[in-house]
Each structure stands twice: as structure tokens, then as C-alpha cells.
Amino acid sequence: MNYTTIPTTCAYCGCGCEILFEVLDGELVGSIPSKANPINHGSLCIKGWTAHEFVVSEKRLKTPLIRKNGEFKEATWDEALNLVSSTLKEIKETSGPNSLACLSSAKCTNEENYLMQKMMRAVVGTNNVDHCARL
């Protein structure tokens, strides 16, 4: 018998609300807004309140998908990453770096976002870097 609450930061947007994830016998069973956090003061939006659901959701993608003949087919990470890099390379060579842009995400960490913009500027060679909230 084991129940605990694990403080964590909501991954949905950049506000930084603190959620307490309820863990019962190793299973994620709920989210509670933290009362101690000065950002959200014991409140959450509907995304935060249901943040535990997507972790265990059956709909969650477990492998990369590649569209072949209009249909998504399961693929390995190697296949997917090779396809992305070769396509990016091809576009860069044929249409120039500024024909590419990247929209990074609030659901990533600072470090991941840093790496994304670094890759776009240093590897691809464009300043077209923005954020998913601008979509």
C-alpha cells in the first residue's frame, strides 16, 4: 500500500503551474494543483487537471509513424530520423536555408528548446525559429 504526491511542473504551456501527481501503488491516478506554488496558488486549467491522463492514455503514440501512400505506417526511430534529416538536407540544398522554419514547444525543457534553435541557426543556417504558441 503506497500513496504519495509528486510535485512537478505542468508541461502544457510556459506558465509553470505546479501539479502534485497522485501515485497509488506506482500507478498515476490523479493530479492536484499545488497550494504552495506562487504561480498557480492551488488552481489549474483543464489541461493541468487532466495532465496525468495522457501519460497512461491508450491513444499515445508508442512508435514514430511515417506517411506512405497517404497512410501512416509504424516505423523505427532510425527510419524516422533518417527521413527527417535527409528531407531537411534536400530542402536546404534545393531551396536554401530560409525556406525552413522551426516551431519549438513549451512542452519541451529549456535545454531542448535551446538545442532546437541552435540546430536551426548553426546546422540549418536560418533564424526562422518560433514557438508553438504562435501557430
Partner 1 sequence: MKVLKNEVETLLKEGTISAFLGMKQIKGHANPFLFTHLDDLEHLTIAEARYPLAKIILKIAHKYADHHLGIMVRGCDEKALIELYRNKQLDRSKLVPMGVACSGELAEKCNCSKPYPSQFIVGEAREISFDRTTLEKIESLPLDERFGYWINKLGKCIKCYGCRNICPVCFCEVCTLEDAPLIPLGKIPPEVPAFHLSRAFHMAGRCIDCGLCEEGCPVDIPLRTLYRKVREIVEELFDYLPGEDKEVVSPIQILGDGSFEIPEGDH
How near is the Cβ of 98 to partner 1 at its closest, in Å?
Answer: 37
Residues binding partner 1: number (CB under 8 A): 25
Residue 30 makes contact with partner 1 by CB under 8 A: yes
Burial 78-97 (b: 16+ CB within 10 A, else e): eeeeeeeeeebeeebeeeeb
Q: Which of residues 49-88 bind partner 1 (CB under 8 A)?
A: 49
Residue 32 makes contact with partner 1 by CB under 8 A: yes
Beta-carbon contacts of residue 81 (< 8 Å; ≥ 6 apart): none
Residue 3 makes contact with partner 1 by CB under 8 A: yes
Give the Cα separation of 12 and 60 in Å (integer).
Answer: 15
Q: Which is nearer to partner 1, 19 or 120 (by Cβ)?
A: 19
Per-residue CA distances from 129 to 106, 124, 132, 135 (Å): 13, 11, 10, 12
Residue 133 makes contact with partner 1 by CB under 8 A: no
Contact residue for partner 1 among 14, 16, 36, 112 (CB under 8 A): 36
Report which of 54, 78, 56, 57 is spatially closest to residue 66, judged by C-alpha positions: 78
Q: What are the residues binding partner 1 (CB under 8 A)?
A: 1-5, 7, 20, 22, 24-25, 29-30, 32-36, 40, 42-46, 48-49
